[in-house]
Chain A
Amino acid sequence: MTQTLIHNARLIDPEAGQITHGALLIESGKITEILTQDTDFEEMFRARNIRPDRIDAGNAFLAPGIVDIGVKVCEPGERHKESYGSAGQAAAAGGVTTMVTRPDTSPCIDTPEALEFIRRRAIEETPVNVLPMAALTKGRQGREMTEFGFLLDAGAVAFSDCNNVVRDTKVLSRAMTYARSLNAVVVGHPQDPGLSQGAAATSGKFASLRGLPSVSPMAERMGLDRDIALVEMTGVRYHADKITTARALPALERAKANGFDVTAGVSIHHLTLNEMDVADYRTFFKVTPPLRSEEDRQAVVEAVRTGLIDIIGSYHSPQDEESKRLPFEEAASGAVGLETMLPVLLRLYHGGELDLPTLFRALSLNPAKRLGLDCGRIAKGAPADLVLFDADKPIVLDRFKLRSKSKNTPFDGARLQGRVLGTWVGGARVFEA
């Protein structure tokens, strides 16, 4: 039985919303003691008759490991873009202790057999926890629901068709009704599929100047309104993957006030970038939905602060160079984020927009709660899934040093502050800077 003591750390407790200077004792993969720094550690070790490894954190921050909902690992189908091996290394280096993977692979994860395949691959290849989501409909085609029961038995934690919005409300309402009976979480992509078809940018002056096909931010609200109406109808547990516009927020607020079981997420890119960053057609900034105006960005940051938006994810989407080296409209959408999410989000901390407990409430605590996981907390008995980081260390991001097989980050060359020093999953150290 291994024991570890991490001391001289600033413990970020997202449940209490506070930071304290102290130490954690880890035994058998769990946090067993939370101690103040002035504790006589040797005395305690004698009393408990243990000899743990001692790690001096050097006053760095220690937080519950990130639970990243919506990671795309390109197995099966496109292992050259990202494998479980490379994604796992990237996650460990980024402080992500649980990857909740997307089913939009090719073929997609819509059968228990496919799910078992990726679970096996994940266990073999990754040092971090992997929890798979499964497709909501067969082939993500929006026609027939998948075998929710079997898929749940095989380990699916939620159901989503990702960016393929189910157009047929009858199909969606039946899937939601059935999912409700199994108490399963349905993850929607709030976007009106008609309005957003073919869009590469958000409507406005920038899109018009660049001559890019664009979508009104209203398409997100329409998608959310529709999904919330179906939640009211079916009573399903619903999570909106990305809320990125100010106009969608009142609808979300109303749904929560009405007591519906609704949560919402947002991506690191929509919190830290705006449409102007696309500049001269830089395709690494092409994401789904497209980057928004600065007003929208500020509104969603504020919504994370107040807790209206519950969860922050990287929406890690590896793309190879070939699929990005195309004219903007034709280029593939998405950006990698597992390894960059923490330093990128620390921009919001350094800019005074969000404090650290709030960040980790959205990064660790809330996603864990949403999926009924025990992690995401600094608490006695919680799994020792932890990230130790220096919030101030200046870095210049070099995309070719990323551990992901794909290097499509919009933050190449960006000056950031913050570095992950160590990551623990179930008490075992999986990354050391």
Chain B
Amino acid sequence: MRFDHRHLLGIEPLRPDEITTILDLSDQYVDFNRRRDKHANALAGLTQINMFFENSTRTQASFELAGKRLGADVMNMAMQASSIKKGETLIDTAMTLNAMHPDLLVVRHPHSGAVDLLAQKVNCAVLNAGDGRHEHPTQALLDALTIRRAKGRLHRLSIAICGDIAHSRVARSNLLLLHKMENRIRLIGPPTLMPSGIDAFGVEVFDDMREGLQDVDVVMMLRLQKERMDGGFIPSEREYYHRYGLDAEKLGHAKDDAIVMHPGPMNRGVEIDGTLADDINRSVIQDQVEMGVAVRMAAMDLLARNLRARPTEVVA
């Protein structure tokens, strides 16, 4: 078992065996989290700071819970409300925090690459909780864990990712991860929501939902941001739902045992039919949330092991 990384900034630098390492450990934490007594010491004595430059409820709560269950001292900072408004640069913020000696820094930022930049300036382990349209690695890992538990494997599956691929960091990270694990990936969505250069990604691209969902094992829906619905990218919400919203009829083209996933929060009646989202036989959306905590525990545990193996560094 090897996981030789200082930070978790994205899926891109991970090898398949490292992904498997994280998922195997996550499996253990899933069982752990289902116990009555949910307290461990893997992060005992370590300080975890959650720095969110962008609104988040679910991801932040998941990281916070993961840290607390492993015994870390967890602090949440809502950055959009604080120093950014006062004109402080990202690097100044990072240096300020660095002086408080955190061990784990969980960061979400609206600009691609901002978390990488921050990671270059601090001495602790940095976890990317989403940067712009770039990556959201823990989401991809929790999706992978959900798929692996539901399907019994994470390779040679036919997986459809549907919706706003262009603006989605979730799609980026999932694409990279599922590709590394040798799955067949289909992207489905209106061409205005497809990223440029998509032909070079080694995926199949469809603008027709029924065609794209044909015989897939997994259907991953993406959230359509409200600001994309104003006629700029798609004509209207109702036309989008008609053509790309997942309902029972469209899902009928997938395999009979295909699972339905969504990173949340859902827009019921925009990208997914409400009844379908609640169908416990098809929807694994609640499982994804559960896996999220386990995956974040595993990721922080692995980074903390590397952290403890390193001699204490003096801040330059």
Contact = CB atoms under 8 A, between A and B. Distances in A.
A281 interface: yes
Nearest to A207: B196
A209 B203 CA distance: 14
A106 B195 CA distance: 37
A329 B196 contact: no
Given A280-B113, A328-B112, 5 more contacts: A203-B197, A207-B197, A212-B112, A281-B113, A328-B111
Contacts of B12: 209
B197 A204 contact: yes
Interface stretch (A176-184, A319-327, A339-347): A319-327
Interface string B81-119: 000000001110000000000000000010111101100
Contacts of B200: 204-205
A105 interface: no
A205 B114 CA distance: 20
Contacts of A203: 196-197
Contacts of A206: 197
Interface of B: 12, 89-91, 109, 111-114, 116-117, 131-135, 166, 169, 172, 195-198, 200-201
A216 B196 contact: yes
A330 interface: yes
A325 B197 contact: no
A211 interface: yes
12 contacts: A205-B201, A208-B172, A208-B197, A208-B198, A210-B112, A211-B112, A213-B133, A214-B196, A281-B112, A325-B89, A327-B112, A330-B111
Contacts of B197: 203-208
A320 to B, nearest CB: 12
A165 B111 CA distance: 26
Contacts of B196: 203-205, 207-208, 214, 216
B49 to A, nearest CB: 19
Contacts of B134: 210-212
Interface of A: 203-214, 216, 280-281, 322, 325-330
Given A206-B197, A280-B113, A326 B90 contact: yes
A327 B133 contact: no
A215 to B, nearest CB: 9
Nearest to A212: B112
Contacts of A328: 111-113
Contacts, number: 72
A56 to B, nearest CB: 49
A327 B90 CA distance: 8
Contacts of B90: 326-327
Pairs A-B, 9 closest by C-beta atoms: A211-B134, A211-B133, A281-B113, A203-B196, A205-B197, A208-B195, A211-B112, A204-B197, A327-B111
B201 A327 contact: no
A27 B198 CA distance: 62
A201 to B, nearest CB: 9
A208 B109 CA distance: 17
Contacts of B166: 208
Instruction: Say whether chain A's binding surface is mostly helix, strand, loop, or mixed.
Output: loop
Contact of B109 (A204, A214, A327): A327
A213 B133 CA distance: 9
A237 B150 CA distance: 68
Contacts of B111: 327-330
Nearest to A206: B197
A294 to B, nearest CB: 13
B89 A211 contact: no
Contacts of A325: 89, 91, 117
Nearest to B196: A203
Nearest to A328: B113
Contacts of B195: 207-208
A281 B172 contact: no
B116 A329 contact: no
A205 B200 CA distance: 6
A310 B90 CA distance: 42
Given A205-B200, A327-B111, A329-B111, A211 B172 contact: yes
B193 to A, nearest CB: 12
Nearest to B109: A327
A14 B4 CA distance: 56
Nearest to A322: B89
A208 B134 CA distance: 8
Contacts of A212: 112-113, 132-134
Could you say which of A203, A209, A216 has the most chain B C-beta atoms within 10 Å of its C-beta?
A209
A346 to B, nearest CB: 32
Contacts of B201: 205, 208
A188 B166 CA distance: 31
A328 B134 CA distance: 12
A327 B198 contact: no
A207 B113 CA distance: 12
Contacts of A204: 196-197, 200
A327 B94 CA distance: 13
Contacts of A280: 113, 116
Contact of B113 (A205, A208, A214, A327): A327
A349 to B, nearest CB: 32
A280 B116 CA distance: 8
A211 B91 contact: no
B134 to A, nearest CB: 3
A214 B134 CA distance: 13
Contacts of A326: 89-90, 117
B116 A281 contact: yes
A329 B134 CA distance: 12
Nearest to B176: A209
A282 to B, nearest CB: 10
A211 B116 contact: no
Nearest to B133: A211
Contact of A210 (B109, B113, B198): B113
A188 B138 CA distance: 46
Could you say which of A205, A208, A209, A211 has the most chain B C-beta atoms within 10 Å of its C-beta?
A211
Contacts of B109: 327
A209 B172 contact: yes
A208 B198 CA distance: 8
